[in-house]
A and B are shown apart, each in its own frame.
Chain A
Amino acid sequence: MASIWEYANPKKFIQTTDRLLPWMSVLAAVTLVVGLIWGFFFTPDDFRQGSTVKIIYLHVPAALMAINAWLMMLVASLVWIIRRHHVSALAARAAAPVGAVMTVIALATGAIWGQPMWGTWWAWDPRLTSFLILFLFYLGYMALWAAIENDDTAADLTSVLCLVGSVFALLSRYAVNFWNQGLHQGASLSVAPGERISMVYKLPLYVSMTGFALLFIALVFLRTQTEIRGRRMRALLARERMG
């Protein structure tokens, strides 16, 4: 079996993802459309939340991907710091805008749901606040990449920022478990005893979550290819300038 480090070779990465990308894109689009149509059109109103329960098919998958995108960037950053593989640093860079958009969707849909349900668009609740800080980390991470001309220096500094931001990524996932004073309810798909979400809502939610995850993977493949090509172009242009 091929070693995973083979894909650290930019050419091998592009060859492999070129083959996977069309399938992954179609699968992501189909899963996402099925999940959202199922959730929107074919689920009943909740006895407490009414029709706002349909927002769960956007909010939960987006929030999950916002956190998982940062964790993926953490792993890629660690690979860069330890093994100095350029593809991993570029994959982390490629994932950041996707994660940032997922964070915006989670924050926006949460606020739109919160207004009728909690009576407020926003509260300085532990989970909401840590999510907002995670979004600011995404912005800072992208700004840092854009601000530094040397790719290796940018990868070094953004990797350190990613390590620091991971605290907030984890906090936004687990804040509801150890800070009880917040407005935000516990995890929607908790396995703990107590009130459970019905299968009527859970099945389309799983499909929607899968769709968001596949979309994230497809976009990271595409955007990493773009970053690899951009890096090669910058190297060739620098060589041209030096004569």
Chain B
Amino acid sequence: MMPDLGKYADAVLSSYAVSIALLVALVAFSVIRARKVRAQLDDVEQRSRRNG
């Protein structure tokens, strides 16, 4: 049940597409980086514990 956006359909749809893509990319990048840094820190902490 897509609303009838009339002659402004391109403007409205492209606004939503651009914004949602940017928000999804921001969330994905933040989550991926959080996991990566967490794993790297675990490695470094384990190594430093082993080395005293």
Hey, which bits of chain A sit against chain B, CB under 8 A? 36, 40-41, 45, 50-52, 54-55, 58-59, 62, 97-98, 101, 104-105, 108-109, 112-113, 115-116, 215, 219, 222-223, 225-226, 229-230, 232-233, 236-237, 239-240
Contacts and interface: CB of A to CB of B under 8 A. Distances in A.
Contacts of A62: 19
A97 B34 CA distance: 14
Given A219-B26, A239-B48, A54 B12 contact: yes
B17 to A, nearest CB: 10
Contacts of B34: 222-223, 225-226
A116 to B, nearest CB: 5
A36 B12 CA distance: 12
B41 A232 contact: yes
Interface string B3-41: 111111101101110110011001100110110011011
A109 B16 CA distance: 8
Given A40-B16, A105-B22, A226-B30, A116 B11 contact: yes
A41 B51 CA distance: 60
B30 A113 contact: no
A105 B18 contact: yes
A101 B48 contact: no
B7 A50 contact: yes
B37 A230 contact: yes
Contact of B15 (A98, A112, A232): A112
20 contacts: A40-B3, A40-B16, A41-B1, A41-B3, A50-B8, A51-B12, A101-B22, A105-B18, A108-B15, A109-B18, A116-B8, A116-B11, A222-B34, A226-B37, A229-B38, A233-B40, A233-B41, A236-B41, A237-B44, A240-B51
A147 B43 CA distance: 26
A97 B33 CA distance: 13
Contacts of B14: 112
Contacts of B19: 58, 62, 105, 108-109
Contacts of B31: 222
Contacts of A226: 30, 33-34, 37-38
Given A55-B11, A233-B44, A240-B48, 18 more contacts: A51-B6, A54-B12, A54-B16, A62-B19, A105-B18, A108-B18, A108-B22, A109-B19, A112-B14, A116-B8, A215-B27, A219-B30, A222-B30, A223-B30, A226-B38, A233-B41, A236-B45, A237-B44
